[in-house]
Amino acid sequence: MCYRRIFLKELALWQKLRHPNIVQFLGILDSDRLIFLTEYLKNGSLHDILRKKGRLDSLTAVCYALDIARCIISHLFLKKLIPLISL
């Protein structure tokens, strides 16, 4: 599978995702290369944060990881790929 098709497949999935911990996908700019457009992030992307601050402290890294995990679990549950389990 070519990279362009893989990229477009990922964008199609991203377009369907709605969660507070997921940057909202707005569209693509298809010129000589594909560029995705997202909502404005006033604090920048995770890449920007890491570039400015360097390594994250353990607590912040765990908080980010938990936010990412919650987002993934929420998506899988909404897509009925996993059942909701109450402990």
**pLDDT tens, residue by residue, 13-37:** 888 877 777 888 888 887 788 787 8
Question: Which percentage of the chain shows pLDDT scores above 70?
Answer: 86
Of the two residues 51 and 11, the one the predictor is more confident about is 51
- Inform me whether the pLDDT recorded for 83 exceeds 80: no
Domains in the chain: ranges and CATH: 3-78 (3.30.200)
Q: Could you give the CA distance from residue 33 to residue 87 in angstroms, rounded to a whole number?
A: 47
Task: Report the pLDDT value the prediction gives residue 82, as an integer from 0 to 100.
Answer: 59
Band (87; pLDDT cuts 50, 70, 90): very low
Determine phi and psi for 26, rounding to 5 degrees: -110, -30
- Which pTM was predicted? 0.53
